[in-house]
């Protein structure tokens, strides 16, 4: 049996972020299997404010999906539509199921803050639904998203080989390099992390902040951070590096010692956790969202009371000064990546989700 899997999403290249990373590795992993052909259909109208243009783009995308699906169905493929993230992507899955798809599935990634008509109307009518964390699932249930008879937790994974970095711990007493990788936006808590690092600035070698911005609101936030760093004279040690990709990004992971994840929103399942763990970086994070499902305090990282900037600073300082604890957390971090967040596990979880035998 041959399978055509069409991934429908509003988040994919050139967009940055965890969903893009998740889907990129999912698509690559599926296409490595001989019986599967996988492709991504991106539906993103966010830069258009005109309602007519938005509906036009949605219609064109739906026609494209239907034509592609029918074509693969005609030439003998078992067609599976797997939508991700936005509610209208879930709606596309449902329409595909009614028209041609053998199976229609959806994975929920980002939190929502209010009940949604499309989710209430169609979630339970799909063949299966997935959530990237148990916390994400609980959040959607609280906001009246109906149960589906087949629900999965799909935490994701990455191809570890480029990120793996077995540290030798010869010079564990040196000042540590800190790293943040992610979108420069308010909910990611970048300013909070800078204020924390400012309190212990003499204890660190540098703090590299890697990431860019997309919207005007994020641009204003970036300027706010720039102004703060300049005003406080922190630019020698706190560096805004911009977006980095591929080997350059991996280089930042490999030269760093500790990863900071200061999100202040209901962070579901950021893929940077897998990347940081693979590079042997313990993670210090605020205890929000689904992070406790991945980061275990005193095992592969340290979780801190949300929004407590003083405690966040103290936790960084204590880990820097305790070389034995640092080495233990670092070794457990890379072990976690190898056992839980490898690409093989991700693909195996999704084959079960799709009902496909290896």
**293 pLDDT tier (thresholds 50, 70, 90):** very high
Q: Cβ(203)–Cβ(319) under 8 Å? A: no
Same domain assignment for residues 313 and 176? yes
pLDDT tens-digit readout, 112-134: 889 999 999 999 999 999 999 99
pLDDT exceeds cutoff 80 at 140: yes
Q: Cβ(300)–Cβ(317) under 8 Å? A: no
From residue 349, give the alpha-carbon distance in Å to each of 203, 326, 341, 354.
42, 32, 11, 9
Half-sphere exposure of 259 (CA within 13 A, CB side): 29
Span 246-270, mean pLDDT? 95
Residue 340 CB neighbour total at 10 angstroms: 16
Same domain assignment for residues 238 and 348? no
β-bridge partners, 241: none
Same domain assignment for residues 145 and 193? no
Same domain assignment for residues 104 and 210? no
d(CA 71, CA 143): 37
Same domain assignment for residues 26 and 129? yes
Same domain assignment for residues 172 and 218? yes
Span 182-209, mean pLDDT? 97
d(CA 263, CA 294): 14
Secondary structure class of 8 (helix, strand, coil): strand
* 164: CATH: 3.40.50.2000
Q: Please state the pTM of the whole predicted model.
A: 0.93
DSSP 8-state symbol, 298 = T
User: What's the pLDDT at 174?
Assistant: 78
d(CA 213, CA 220): 9
Q: What kind and span of H or E run contains 304?
A: strand 301-304
Percent of the chain with pLDDT over 70: 99
- Range(s) of the domain holding residue 58: 3-157+342-354
Same domain assignment for residues 78 and 201? no
Number of structural domains, the chain? 2
**46 pLDDT tier (thresholds 50, 70, 90):** confident
Same domain assignment for residues 137 and 224? no
For 63-108, list the strands marked E by DSSP. Answer: 78-84, 103-108
Same domain assignment for residues 335 and 346? no
Span 272-284, mean pLDDT? 97
Query: In which residue are the tokens 């880990």 written?
Result: 319
Same domain assignment for residues 28 and 153? yes
Peptide bond before 223: cis, by omega within 30 degrees of 0? no
Same domain assignment for residues 144 and 91? yes
pLDDT exceeds cutoff 90 at 267: yes
Span 18-24, mean pLDDT? 93
Same domain assignment for residues 171 and 267? yes
pLDDT tens-digit readout, 58-90: 999 999 999 999 999 999 999 999 999 999 999
């Amino acid at each position: 049996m041959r399978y055509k899997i069409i991934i429908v999403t509003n988040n994919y290249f050139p967009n940055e972020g965890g969903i893009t990373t998740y889907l990129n590795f999912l698509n690559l992993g599926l296409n490595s299997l001989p019986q599967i052909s996988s492709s991504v259909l991106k539906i993103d109208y966010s830069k258009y404010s005109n309602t007519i243009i938005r509906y036009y783009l949605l219609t064109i995308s739906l026609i494209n999906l239907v034509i592609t699906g029918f074509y693969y169905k005609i030439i003998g493929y078992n067609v599976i539509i797997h939508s991700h993230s936005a509610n209208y992507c879930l709606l596309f899955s449902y329409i595909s199921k009614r028209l041609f798809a053998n199976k229609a599935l959806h994975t929920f990634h980002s939190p929502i803050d209010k009940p949604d008509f499309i989710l209430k109307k169609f979630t339970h009518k799909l063949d299966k639904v997935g959530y990237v964390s148990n916390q994400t699932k609980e959040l959607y249930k609280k906001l009246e998203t109906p149960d589906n008879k087949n629900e999965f937790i799909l935490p994701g994974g990455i191809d570890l080989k480029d990120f793996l970095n077995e540290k030798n711990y010869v010079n564990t007493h040196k000042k540590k390099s800190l790293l943040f990788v992610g979108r420069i936006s308010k909910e990611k808590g970048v300013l909070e992390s800078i204020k924390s690092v400012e309190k212990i600035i003499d204890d660190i070698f540098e703090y590299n902040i890697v990431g860019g911005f997309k919207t005007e609101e994020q641009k204003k936030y970036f300027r706010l951070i720039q102004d703060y760093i300049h005003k406080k004279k922190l630019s020698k040690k706190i560096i805004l590096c911009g977006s980095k990709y591929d080997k350059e990004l991996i280089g930042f992971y490999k030269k760093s010692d500790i990863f900071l994840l200061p999100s202040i929103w209901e962070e579901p399942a950021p893929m940077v956790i897998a990347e940081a763990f693979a590079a042997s970086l313990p993670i210090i994070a605020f205890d929000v969202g689904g992070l406790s499902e991945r980061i275990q305090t005193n095992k592969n990282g340290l979780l801190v009371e949300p929004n407590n900037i003083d405690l966040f600073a103290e936790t960084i300082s204590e880990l820097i000064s305790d070389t034995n604890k640092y080495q233990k957390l670092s070794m457990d971090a890379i072990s976690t990546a190898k056992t839980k967040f490898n690409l093989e596990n991700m693909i195996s979880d999704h084959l079960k989700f799709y009902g496909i035998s290896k």
